[in-house]
């Protein structure tokens, strides 16, 4: 089983590095300066216990990878980039390639299933960072996080078992979940706080706003009849790396890197969509979605306003 990690940022980079470290055949797909740094110097993995550089093979596009039947393509890009990534992939990958979505949100598997029949969801609980080309950080050790996996839209099979075994052997907790999307919807509710970190900043200041966003999310899922696992998080177990704590989640990091886009339309925006479809008001998530997108477009740093300013805007 070869792993092609498509999107070697924080999540993909850490998973790919750990699989490679344990002897798996791994190829990364990265872009720009990150690709060049990995190509020239290797991928540096920073953990609470060690720092090491790994000579993981890397390509800058799917067309540069020689795919074979039975390869596992681990999708790890942000959801706003998934459709274009799958278009590139489907032009060169064999139809029996396995697609495993190690991504936030609940839209990626559906996008993949349009193009490939073998699709698996991976519920990722992995506090990691990618802020410097060629370097990824993970804030848990010796168990690096949790990667539960199941066939999409539901079920389990030998491939799901093999994926879970590979993840476990690479230092992650992993179980086969026939209802993996129930866990991914639970993670979605947790991720509604990502936009709060972007707009208000990490820490206690935005705690109440995050609670309000998650209450809206839970209400939408109930009305839509969607089951979601509760309490899907592992952040309490995170430890410092190089003497500092993780500063924020994936949305916060995207703003720090100035990528110009963020995944908020597929996190808070997923709740806004469900609210509109089922007649549930979602003003907190809509305002978070709107403000965070504006920040990405304008290249603004995390911390646009205080919690008090956000709540005042909410009332207008």
Residues 6+ apart with CB under 8 A from 118: 96, 97, 98, 99, 159
DSSP 244: B
Which residue(s) pair with 101 in the sheet? 75, 121
198 cis-preceded (ω within 30 degrees of 0): no
Beta bridge partners of 73: 4, 99
pLDDT digits (tens, 9 = 90+) for 32-75: 999 999 999 999 999 999 999 999 999 999 999 999 988 999 99
How does residue 115 score in pLDDT terms, banded at 50, 70 and 90?
very high
131 versus 209: which is more confidently predicted? 209
pLDDT tens digits, 15-38:
999 999 999 999 999 999 999 999
Stronger pLDDT, 239 or 91, i.e. the higher one = 91
- Other Cβ atoms within 10 Å of 176 Cβ, number: 20
- For 77, the enclosing helix (H) or strand (E) is none
Distance CA(202)–CA(256), nearest Å, equals: 13
Q: pLDDT above 70 covers what percent of the chain?
A: 99
- pLDDT for res 283: 98
SS3 for 205?
helix
* pLDDT tens profile 153-180: 999 999 999 999 999 999 999 999 999 9
The pLDDT of residue 203: 82
| pLDDT for the residue 190 | 94
CB 262 within 8 A of CB 251: yes
| Higher local confidence (pLDDT), 247 or 101 | 101
Tell me the C-alpha distance between 75 and 255, whole Å: 21
Our CA angle for 151, 153, 154, nearest 5°, is 60
Q: Where are the alpha helices (DSSP H) in 42-137?
A: 82-90, 108-113
Report pLDDT for 231: 77
Residue 75's pLDDT is what?
98
User: What's the CA angle centered on 302, arms 300 and 304, to 5 degrees?
Assistant: 75
Residue 297's pLDDT band (cuts 50, 70, 90) = very high
51 backbone dihedrals φ, ψ, rounded to 5°: -130, 125
Three-class secondary structure of residue 260 per DSSP? coil
At 230-266, the pLDDT tens digits run 878 765 578 889 887 777 788 888 888 888 889 999 9
Whether the CB-CB separation of 193 and 214 falls below 8 Å is answered with: yes
State the pLDDT at residue 36. 98
> What is the pLDDT averaged over residues 216-222?
98
| Residue bearing the bigger pLDDT, 234 or 275 | 275
- Enumerate domains of the chain plus CATH numbers: 2-178 (3.40.50.720), 184-315 (1.10.1040.10)
Residue 254 has a pLDDT of 85
Rounded-to-integer distance, Cα 78 and Cα 104, Å: 8
* Closest-CA residue to 229 (of 112, 125, 140, 158): 125
């Amino acid at each position: 089983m070869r792993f092609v990690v498509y999107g070697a940022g924080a999540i993909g980079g850490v998973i790919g590095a750990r699989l490679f470290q344990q002897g798996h055949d791994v190829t990364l797909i990265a872009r720009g300066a990150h690709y060049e740094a990995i190509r020239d110097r290797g991928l540096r993995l920073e953990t609470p216990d060690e720092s090491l550089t790994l000579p993981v093979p890397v390509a800058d596009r799917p067309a540069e990878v020689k795919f074979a039947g039975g390869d596992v393509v681990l999708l790890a890009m942000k959801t706003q980039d998934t459709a274009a990534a799958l278009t590139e992939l489907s032009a060169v990958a064999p139809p029996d390639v396995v697609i495993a979505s190690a991504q936030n949100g609940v839209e990626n598997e559906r996008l993949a299933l349009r193009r490939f029949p073998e699709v698996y969801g991976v519920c990722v609980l992995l506090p990691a960072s990618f802020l410097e080309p060629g370097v990824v950080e993970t804030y848990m050790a010796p168990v690096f996080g949790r990667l539960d996996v199941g066939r999409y839209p539901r079920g389990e099979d030998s491939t799901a078992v093999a994926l879970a075994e590979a993840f476990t052997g690479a230092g992650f907790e992993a179980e086969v979940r026939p209802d993996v999307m129930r866990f991914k919807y639970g993670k979605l509710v947790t991720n509604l706080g990502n936009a709060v970190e972007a707009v208000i900043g990490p820490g206690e200041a935005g705690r109440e706003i995050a609670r309000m966003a998650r209450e809206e999310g839970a209400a939408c899922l109930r009305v839509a009849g969607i089951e979601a696992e509760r309490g899907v998080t592992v952040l309490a177990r995170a430890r410092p790396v190089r003497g500092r704590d993780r500063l924020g989640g994936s949305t916060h990091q995207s703003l720090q890197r100035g990528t110009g886009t963020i995944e908020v339309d597929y996190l808070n925006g997923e709740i806004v969509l469900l609210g509109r479809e089922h007649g549930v008001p979602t003003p907190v998530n809509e305002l978070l979605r709107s403000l965070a997108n504006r920040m990405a477009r304008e290249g603004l740093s995390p911390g646009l306003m205080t919690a008090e300013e956000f709540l005042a805007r909410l009332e207008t």
